[in-house]
Structure 1
Amino acid sequence: MKSVSSNCSLAAWKPLALASALATLSFPSVAQTAPDQNLSTVTVSGSRFANDPSWAPIGASVITSEQMREAGVNNANEAIRKIGGVFGRQNLNGTSDYALDLRGFGSASDQNVVIMVDGIRLSENEQATALMSSIPVESIERIEIVRGGSSVMYGEGATSGTIQIITKRGAAGATSGSLVGIVGSREYREMRASLTKGWDNFSLDANLSGLKTDNYRDHNALRQDNFSGGLQWAYKQGRIGVRIDAARQDSQLAGSLSNLDKFYQNPRQSNSIRNASIDSDRYTLFAEHRIGKWELAADLSQRYKRAVSGNQGAIPNIYDGRVTQFSPRARYLTGSGDFRNELVFGSDFSKSSRRLSSNGIVSRSGSQDSSAFYIKDEINSGKARVSVGARREYFDQGMTGTRAYDQSFGINAADIQANYEFTPLLNVFAKVGRSYRVANIDENSGSTKSGRAIKPQTSNDYELGTSLGNAQQKVIVKLFRHDLKNEIYYDRSIPSDATSGFGANTNLDPTQREGIELEGRAKLSSAFSVVAILQHVSAKFTEGPYAGREVTLVPKNNATMRLNWVPGNGHSADIGVQWVDKQRYGGDFSNACTARIPAFTTVDGRYAIRSGAWEFAVSGTNLTGKDYFSQAFGTCANNSASIYPDPGRAVKFSARMDF
């Protein structure tokens, strides 16, 4: 790990000055929930099996359902940004599914993190932000965030980390549910209903939600309807079940503003008449069974998705996609007393296709099939934990039409992780490994040359960290570094016969991400708690004509702080502040622009009162009414930028009834 500390730039260590200020804080570690909750109620799934906290993924964190409710978040994406402190960039559609950037991967950030729901990948074979808004927030039990390379267990695209969303399971002999109604700024209307019921060995859950809003910008209205339901049968040795998830989204696309003058004149204006819709259906079968010390599990899922976009009155483009995933796996637990061993191995099979058509004519059709085998062994002996894992994955990619190509290849991932508890208040952990990412069908269709697919991206990953404190006060410090080759990125400056000169997806010269993360939590009193998360990251080219230059659309620093008040009398309040540093415009690879995307600070808050089964709340985002943007492309000259404004101030009122 010496290379991590010795090669980080001087600027990377400036945030260490804040460590003393955070020393009285405590980070909500993976073995922690809300301050008043019992530790033993939390399970984790870093091994792709349910686990107790002693087998938690090293260096991971958890957001609980209670934390999400106290913060008043309406979807998983919002929870990850507000509570998890993850920087989110407004997506190009202007919807609530922000592109999440764990460790400074810029415009490709959402392709470098794997997002899963109950172990099934939500981010798949297209260049689109994962539709986390389709997951009913009432159905979420917890969200697990693992920062850093995780390709051994989760395959391609996990260089910056993984986000696992775990849904609730119905309790035997119990019935519960909720009704939620929300109204707010810009004609915001949302209704949600959830129900879980258990009897004998069976349980079911169903969630319905619908929202309509005009959104902040002109010509940016959104309507979304979601359904999620499941049925499972649990028995002494395991469980078996089925889930159905469906989402329908219709939106107007406000487009970009062509220069800063237009943004400052009126950030709400639109220059677009484009509309878009997404229909997505997912069917999942799952099973778990225990035989002695063995645990066997498997998931089989199939997703159909149709995306339609085009100008009003014109013939639209239709993207049809299908993904089938099958993931059998096994775990063997041995040991007694202070010594335990966990051996996990399994396979992941995926078959996906995506087709572009217009007016009934197919212009492009692509496919990507993969098969992988992985194995991981972890030893937990007294105060020490050591984990070793490896993965081998084979890919077969192809496309017909004007962007025809065909290629097959294999790629490896591996990692070694360790944790040592010097005292009950002091832990040190480290990780070294190799992760990878493979260009998806959309990226290959927009590469620089016909007949040539984009090369796989690889990363050598390093992490060193320490945690200090207990359940009441804790701070965690992590140093990290990713050395990448063939990073997959969209470069607007290079010509492409696929995009008429508007840039192309390509492999970059070698790049690097390195930095520091500080995370902390403190229980200030019986009623007050505070969370603070800070990240500093340096993203730069290490070879080639841009050597030493910064990668675009990466803020060097971002920080989140939240103060929570729960006095125990039915009242509660939550306020958060997030600051994001300035960034280089997308496309400014030469770093020639003196202008930057400006730094910005946003404030959100919520006040709620509970009375019996009812809860009434008022919440607000961007409470200071800041005009800002986090997504912009071009050369940054006043007349050539493409700016996507972020939302202004919004206020919502909600009523909830639990039964």
Structure 2
Amino acid sequence: MNSKNQPALALACAIAITLPFAAHADEPLASTVVITGSRFPSAESLEPIGATVITRDEIRQAGVNDVNGAIRKIGGVFGRQSLDSSPDFALDLRGFGTNGAQNMVILVDGVRLNENELANSVLSTIPIDTVERIEIVRGGSSVLYGEGATGGVIQIVTRKDARYARSGTHGSVFAEAGQFKERDLRASVSHVAGNLSVDAAVARQDNDNYRANSAFTQNSLSAGVQVAYAGGRAGVRVESARQDTRLPGSLTLAQFQADPRQSQTPNDFGTLDTDRVNAFAEYRIGEVDLAAELSHRERDVDSNYYFGTSASVTKYKGRQNQFSPRARWLHTLDGGMLNELVTGVDVIDWQRKTTADYSLADASQKSKAFYVRDELRFDPAHDGRIALGARREIFDKDYIDAMAGGVADNGSQGQNAWEAQGSYRLLPQLELTARAGQSYRVANVDENSFRTSLSLLKVQTSHDLEFGASWGDEMRKLTARVFRHKLDNEIFYDPTAFANTNLDPTRRQGVEIDAETALTTGWRATAHLQHVNAKFTDGPNAGREMVLVPKNVLTARLSWLPGSGQSADFGAQWVGRQRYGSDFDNRCAAAMPSYVTFDARYAVKLGAWEVAVNGLNLADRRYFSYAYGCQTGIYPSDGRQLKLSARYDF
């Protein structure tokens, strides 16, 4: 983007955020949504501080086909173009660059999706029609969710409680077709009989995508059953997905400018197979809630890279088991004070076998964690709250590679996290919040297998601090947060050393602004702005910017739902400049340019049918969000795509 347009764009951003508060409305923004606060459904007065909730209705109205897209377009989370052809963009909370996936935790129904490797959590395998809501909590959250939660937590909730679902059989059939031979077929059905409910969803996605050699195919299946009983409920969900994806590879800047759709790797491809089984149970005894999840996941990844006529094939076979029992005591004290005490255990067993021409590695990691957190609503008249929590987690690692001839990573280590947070409503519409804590991340198997020294990588720790203020009510609301993460031994790939290493002290600090309002009957606007300054604070690189971290990301949406069967949704996202992936010393003569994208959807309901037209990157911008070298290693983003869909509900 031309720099002379930046002032105009900045003004437009300011208008987009402040305009909602110049309008008046006659209806509330949305109905109340119960969200998962302290790993239990929250009491309304103890909802987590600073959470963003994406509802099932918002996902459908925006015409989003996958969970990753909903998080980016509705939740305002920055996403970087995937390196394969899948819709699983690399998500990044609070500016952690290429290690964004390792600095946040993603869960599905309380089960951790993060892998102990340099890989993004695969969200495209979660059938979008099974998603009830998505919760995004920004900021250090290691007490409740363990290692890697420095940037925040994203929780996808799919379960429905049979006690509140509609009786009988209900479902939907969805079909979509678009440019680049895009096809999306989905069907879901649920049946509720008394306290028993069953549901199933199947989907197939095909897309040749924007670039050459970037075709993507996925088949997925999800099925669940649950039963409600006196004092609780229990259930099981099974999910399976198969992906086939071509690998278009990267381009130089000259190649991108000549033709961003080309590929220099026309024969590379990969596959991903995932299977998940999750079981849960909940039970209430007086004022005590008991809950537990037990899960098993298997993940097989094959990649095939061709160099001339020879091929390099890599196979990963991984599995993970998790058991997470926990308890909550929700008690009302004298004077109307409400106290919530939560404690629990997380036990995770992860293993991976590698078969490649460069490695025959066996890796495993076991972790055991105990956490406790207490929150007190000490002043009900002003919603005064204070919470304290702590966590202790022990890791046991084993790694051996027969081709390397020795042990690369083994032994035990323990880590601690803590947090303190509070809020107070000074005025009926003004609430102040504060958070402080310590979070941590341990090096994964890929990082410790390719490091700069003989010593294993040190644990990354972050001291987290946040202050916030929220003004408004159900009809219009503005929330602002200033934050800082001071990191020691940040784990990162150093392009100057060609290996993973512990960096000199670094810092992420900035501001986040959320705004939402009902402009008038049927119209609703939302906006999320993140400004982050990511720099070294000590060492030879002190003062230099971290790579692949945009300073500004603004996401805004305008929705129209007049109640006549019609609906429209328009979105825009501006991503500011960022440094190329290899520009550690900030000497690259250029930076990755900023860009703006637009998407829109119009739908009309005709009885049980809904017909919609959807458009992505409507201005057909040529841009890129990932480049690992200085003006090279560029992965072009998708061009304009128009799609037509039909849905039938029964």
| TM-score bracket for the superposition, by shorter chain length | over 0.9
CA–CA separation in structure 1 for the residues paired with 2:554 and 2:458: 34
Provide the C-alpha distance between the structure 2 equivalents of 1:113 and 1:405, rounded to a whole number of angstroms: 23
Inter-CA distance 363–21: structure 2 relative to 1 (3 Å threshold): closer
Q: Does 1:345 align with 2:336?
A: no
Provide the C-alpha distance between the structure 2 equivalents of 1:513 and 1:598, rounded to a whole number of angstroms: 21
SS in 2 for 1:314: strand
Structure 1 partner of 2:439: 435
**Aligned partners of 1:275 and 1:21: how far apart in 2?**
42
SS in 1 for 2:423: strand
Structure 2 counterpart of 1:219, one-letter code:
N
Please list every run of 5 or more consecutive structure 1 residues that lacks an aligned counterpart in the other structure: 1-13, 28-33, 495-502
Superposition deviation, residue 441 in structure 1: 1.6
Question: 1:582 maps to what in 2?
Answer: 577
Give yes or no for contact 2:626–2:634 (8 Å, CA) kept in 1: yes
Number of aligned residue pairs: give it: 623
1:273-312 to structure 2, matched below 5 A, reads 273-311=267-305
Q: Distance in 1 between matches of 2:328 and 2:95?
A: 34
What pairs with 1:356-435 in structure 2 (closer than 5 Å)?
A: 356-358=354-356, 363-381=360-378, 382=380, 383=382, 384-401=384-401, 402=404, 404-435=408-439
Contact 1:407 1:453 in 2 (8 A): no
- 8 Å CA contact 1:379–1:385 kept in 2: the answer is yes
Q: Deviations over 1:236-259 (max 9, x none)?
A: 2111111111111110000001x2
Distance 1:186 1:207 in 2: 25
Deviation at 1:35, TM superposition (A): 4.3
- Please say if 1:446 is aligned against 2:450: yes
Letter in 2 for 1:397: K
Question: Alpha-carbon deviation of 1:407?
Answer: 2.4
Matched-pair contact (CA < 8 Å) for 1:172–1:203: no
Q: Does 1:214 align with 2:208?
A: yes
Distance of 1:252 and 1:173 partners within structure 2: 43
CA distance in 1, matches of 2:31, 2:619: 37
In structure 2, the CA distance between the partners of 1:513 and 1:166, relative to structure 1 (3 Å rule), is same
Q: Indicate if the aligned counterparts of 1:23 and 1:474 stay in contact, CA closer than 8 A.
A: no
| Secondary structure in 1 matching 2:132 | strand
Hey, what's the Cα distance between the residues in 2 that align with 1:53 and 1:619? Answer: 36
In the alignment, structure 1 residue 102 sits paired with structure 2 residue 93: yes
Unaligned runs of 5+ in 2: 1-8
The more displaced of 433-442 and 600-609 is 433-442
Equivalent residue runs for 1:11-50 within 5 Å = 22-23=17-18, 25=20, 35=28, 37-39=30-32, 42-50=33-41
Quote the Cα distance in structure 1 between the aligned partners of 2:57 and 2:232. 27
Establish whether residue 113 from structure 1 lines up as the match of residue 104 from structure 2. Answer: yes
How far 1:196 sits from its partner (Å)?
1.4
SS state at 1:210 partner = strand
1:263 is paired with a residue of what secondary structure? Answer: helix
Equivalence for 2:5: none
Aligned partners of 2:337, 2:551: CA distance in 1, in Å?
42
Q: Determine if contact 1:531/1:562 at 8 Å carries over to the other structure.
A: yes
Q: Give the letter aligned to residue 630 of structure 1.
A: S
How large is the RMSD of aligned CA atoms in angstroms? Answer: 1.9
> Match for 2:194 among 181, 200, 211?
200
Map 1:525-536 onto structure 2 (within 5 A). Answer: 525-536=520-531
Larger deviation, residues 15-24 vs 319-328: 15-24
Q: Does 1:189 align with 2:186?
A: no
CA distance in 2, matches of 1:609, 1:405: 57
Which digits, 9 at most, give the CA deviation of each residue in 1:583-616, with x for residues without a partner? 1000111001120111111000000001111100
Aligned partner of 1:426: which letter?
L
Cα separation, partners in 2 of 1:16 and 1:619, compared to 1, 3 Å: closer
SS across alignment from 2:619: coil
Q: Does 1:141 align with 2:136?
A: no
1:21 Cα deviation from its structure 2 partner = 6.9
Q: Name the CA distance, whole Å, in 2 between partners of 1:440 and 1:538.
A: 26
- Alignment partner of 1:154 is 2:145: yes
In the alignment, which residue of structure 2 is the partner of 1:461?
464
Query: 1:362: how far off?
Result: 6.4
2:29–2:518 contact (8 Å) kept in structure 1: no
- Deviations 1:214-249 (Å, cap 9, x if unpaired)? 111100110001111111111021111111111111
CA contact (8 A) 1:26 1:472 kept: no
- The reply to whether residue 263 of structure 1 matches residue 235 of structure 2 is no
Deviations 1:309-333 (A, max 9, x none): 0136736211011111110100001
Partner of 1:7: none
Say if 1:17 and 1:570 are closer, same or farther in 2 by CA, change over 3 A: closer
Distance 1:431 1:20, change over 3 A: farther
> For residues 500-579 of structure 1, what are the structure 2 equivalents within 5 Å?
503-579=498-574
Instruction: Give the secondary structure class of the aligned counterpart of 1:132.
Output: coil
Q: In the alignment, which residue of structure 1 is the partner of 2:232?
A: 238
Secondary structure of the residue aligned to 2:422 is strand
- How far is the alpha carbon of 1:346 from its aligned partner? 0.4
Tell me whether 153-162 or 170-179 shows the greater mean CA deviation.
Answer: 170-179
Aligned mates of 2:16, 2:211 — CA distance in 1: 39
Runs of 4+ in 1 over 4 A off after TM superposition: 14-21
Counterpart CA distance in 2 for 1:323 and 1:453 is 23
2:373 corresponds to which letter in structure 1?
K
Is the counterpart of residue 649 in structure 1 residue 631 in structure 2?
no
Q: Distance in 2 between matches of 1:617 and 1:193?
A: 17
Distance 1:601 1:485 in 2: 34
Helix, strand or coil for the counterpart of 2:57?
helix
TM-score by length of 1: 0.92
Q: Deviation of residue 38 (structure 1)?
A: 2.7
Deviations 1:148-183 (A, max 9, x none): 000000001100000001114142633221110010
Preserved CA contact (<8 Å) 1:24 1:522 = no
**Is the contact made by 2:528 and 2:556 (CA closer than 8 Å) also made in structure 1?**
yes
User: Using a 3 Å threshold, how does the CA distance of structure 1 residues 209 and 558 change in structure 2: closer, same or farther?
Assistant: same
In structure 1, the residue matched to 2:4 is none
Alpha-carbon distance between aligned partners in 1 of 2:209 and 2:28, rounded to the nearest angstrom: 36
Q: Give, in angstroms, the shift of residue 268 of structure 1.
A: 0.6
Distance in 1 between residues matched to 2:168 and 2:502, nearest whole Å: 54
2:6 is matched with none
| Amino acid corresponding to residue 563 of structure 2 in structure 1 | G
Residues 315 and 533 of structure 1: CA distance in aligned 2, closer, same or farther (over 3 Å): closer
Whole-Å Cα distance in 2 between the matches of residues 346 and 525 of structure 1? 45
1:70-111 per-position Cα deviation (integer Å, ceiling 9, x unaligned): 111111110111111111101211321111111011110111
The answer as to whether partners of 1:172 and 1:201 remain within 8 angstroms in 2 is no
One of 309, 314, 332 as aligned partner of 2:311: 314
Q: Secondary structure at the match of 1:180?
A: strand
Question: Using the alignment, how far apart are the partners of 2:96 and 2:399 within structure 1?
Answer: 27
Cα distance in 2 for residues equivalent to 1:330 and 1:346: 6
CA distance in 1, matches of 2:34, 2:557: 24
Cα distance in 2 for partners of 1:437, 1:176 equals 43
- CA distance 1:322–1:628, change in 2 (3 Å): same
SS for the counterpart of 2:588 is: coil
Note closer, same or farther for the CA distance 1:307–1:580 as it changes in structure 2 (3 Å cut).
same
Q: Distance in 2 between matches of 1:53 and 1:138?
A: 26
CA contact (8 A) 1:24 1:473 kept: no
**Alpha carbons 1:19, 1:518 under 8 Å: kept:** no
Secondary structure of residue in 2 paired with 1:70: helix
Q: Is the 8 A contact 2:16 2:527 kept in 1?
A: no
Task: State the SS of the aligned residue for 1:584.
Answer: coil
